[in-house]
Amino acid sequence: MGRIFNFSAGPAILPEPVLAQASDAVREFAGSGMSLLEMSHRDKRYDAIHEQVRAGVVETLGLSTSEYDCLFMGGGASTQFSLVPMNLLTPGHSGAYVDGGEWGAKAIETARFHGDVDVIGSSKVDNHSRLPVIGAVPSNAGYVHLTTNNTIEGTQMSNVPTFDVPLVGDLSSDIFGRVREHAHFDLMYAGAQKNAGPAGVTLVVIRKSLLAQCNSLPPMFSYRVQADKHSVYNTPPVFPIYVVGLVLEWIAAEGGMPAVAARNERKAALIYKAIENNAPIFSAAVPDAADRSLMNITFRLASKELETEFLAEAKANGMDGLPGHRNVGGCRASIYNAFPEAGCKALADLISDFAVRKG
Ligand SMILES: *Cc1c(COP(=O)(O)O)cnc(C)c1O
């Protein structure tokens, strides 16, 4: 069967050259006579890649490895919901959280197990269909936490604000997807499986000066220990890290993150334009264009029946993964970095064609 257009929100599409190289490495890695799946994480040949990917993550974000360290951790972004307060929250302080969507809300719910939380901005009253306005940061705040791209609701921040306390960002669904002031962040984390690689590794990029301020914790939970040990305190997820490295090479070959981000703008515009031109059968779930995500395009049809029919037509035309998140319904087109422009064009055409037939 030919390759379909995979609009899945995550795990998500990977570039075809990456899949080809990854397949090769499963059979035999770099003339070693063994699969990369069989190779020790202490092997010099793997270690070279490990260090290359650690640096590559930081550099692809436009940051310097003299200022930032990259850690590879397990447990997905959801584990970071705990590790952030465990490492950064000290007695007498609270975590200041922005509630921009379901993932931000989960980060808040989890942080409350570890200490005090203040919510400094929320768009919950609007079902998170817009970006929240961020209010004042309490004087006892230890850090601010926000989500750059709200995967489920389809909103995305373009500008990164600055604060007097460390800024923590959950970049799980738009890391490497948009040019922004990453240097405003002191800590960024992302489960790899949306825009950076396969499931199984979580990228944590931390400002080195913040490491000294982190709480002392058991080694596996400690950013400082993980940084000291270059994320080989224990066995790291070797294969997912390798694939993240291949994705970084692919980004570079595509012209670097700015080029990929510019293509993301074009891709998203194709679909948003089709939705807007075909009102009222189609409507964007995020009313304010400035808040709309380039990664996850959420939209609705005029009735549940039309929606079911549209999704079935899309699937019959090789477009998969378009139903919205189970909690919000509607439709969602996730068009991460590796998603081809041709697939966005195909969806835009189907939207227009469907609206003409039903109009
Ligand atoms: C998917 C997602 C998560 C959860 O990631 P896991 O790696 O599955 O724990 C957290 N935050 C955001 C913004 C996400 O999109």
Q: State the pLDDT at residue 2.
A: 82
Q: State the pLDDT at residue 1.
A: 66
Cα 345 to middle of ligand 1, angstroms: 27
Residue 53 lies inside a defined structural domain of this protein: yes
Is residue 161 located within the same domain as residue 302? no
Residue 186 lies inside a defined structural domain of this protein: yes
**Which residue lies with its CA nearest to atom 13 of ligand 1?**
172
Q: Which of 98, 170, 188, 327 is the pocket-test mutation for ligand 1 (most atoms within 8 Å of CB)?
A: 170
Confidence of residue 45 (pLDDT cuts 50, 70, 90): very high
Is residue 99 located within the same domain as residue 246? yes
Neighbours of 357 (CB within 10 A): 10
Q: State the pLDDT at residue 359.
A: 85
Is residue 277 located within the same domain as residue 230? no
Is residue 81 located within the same domain as residue 230? yes
**Ligand 1 near 103 CB (within 6 A):** yes
What would the pLDDT profile of 97-131 be if each residue is shown by its tens digit? 999 999 999 999 999 999 999 999 999 999 999 99
- Domain end marker among 253, 276, 311: 253
Residue 4 lies inside a defined structural domain of this protein: no
Please give the order of strands across the beta sheet that includes 68-73.
68-73, 202-207, 187-191, 167-170, 141-147, 94-99, 116-122
Angle, to 10 degrees, between the axis of helix 238-253 and the axis of helix 44-60?
Answer: 50
Distance CA 171, CA 169 (A): 6
Distance of CA 94 to the CA centre of its chain: 25
Q: How many domains does the chain have?
A: 2
Q: Which atom in ligand 1 lies closest to the alpha carbon of residue 193?
A: 7
**Ligand 1 near 174 CB (within 6 A):** no
Q: Provide, rounded to the nearest whole percent, the portion of the chain with pLDDT above 70.
A: 100
Distance CA 60, CA 220 (A): 26
**Domain CATH code at residue 294:** 3.90.1150.10
Is residue 90 located within the same domain as residue 200? yes
Domain, as residue range, for 125: 16-253
Is 252 buried (19+), middle (13-18) or exposed (0-12) by CB count in 10 A? middle
Confidence of residue 54 (pLDDT cuts 50, 70, 90): very high
Q: State the pLDDT at residue 126.
A: 97
Q: What is the DSSP letter of 191?
A: E
Distance CA 230, CA 53 (A): 11
Across all residues in the chain, what is the average pLDDT? 97
Is residue 284 located within the same domain as residue 207? no
Is residue 286 located within the same domain as residue 313? yes
Position 333 pLDDT exceeds 80: yes
What would the pLDDT profile of 169-179 be if each residue is shown by its tens digit? 999 999 999 99
Distance CA 350, CA 46 (A): 45
Q: What is the DSSP letter of 161?
A: P
Is residue 52 located within the same domain as residue 166? yes
Q: Which residue has the tokens 């800590």?
A: 187
Residue 63 lies inside a defined structural domain of this protein: yes
Cα 16 to middle of ligand 1, angstroms: 23
- Whole-structure pTM value: 0.98
Is residue 245 located within the same domain as residue 261? no
Residue 290 lies inside a defined structural domain of this protein: yes
Q: State the pLDDT at residue 195.
A: 97
Residue 82 lies inside a defined structural domain of this protein: yes
Q: State the pLDDT at residue 324.
A: 94
**Ligand 1 near 82 CB (within 6 A):** no
Is residue 200 located within the same domain as residue 308? no
- Domain end marker among 232, 253, 274: 253
Residue 95 lies inside a defined structural domain of this protein: yes
Distance CA 116, CA 352 (A): 49
The pair phi, psi for residue 152, each rounded to 5°, is -80, -40
**Which residue lies with its CA nearest to atom 5 of ligand 1?**
77
Q: State the pLDDT at residue 196.
A: 98
Residue 8 lies inside a defined structural domain of this protein: no
Distance CA 232, CA 72 (A): 9
Is residue 333 located within the same domain as residue 228? no
Distance CA 242, CA 41 (A): 11
Confidence of residue 96 (pLDDT cuts 50, 70, 90): very high
**Domain CATH code at residue 183:** 3.40.640.10
- Domain end marker among 203, 219, 253: 253
**Ligand 1 near 200 CB (within 6 A):** no
Q: State the pLDDT at residue 327.
A: 87
Is residue 94 located within the same domain as residue 35? yes
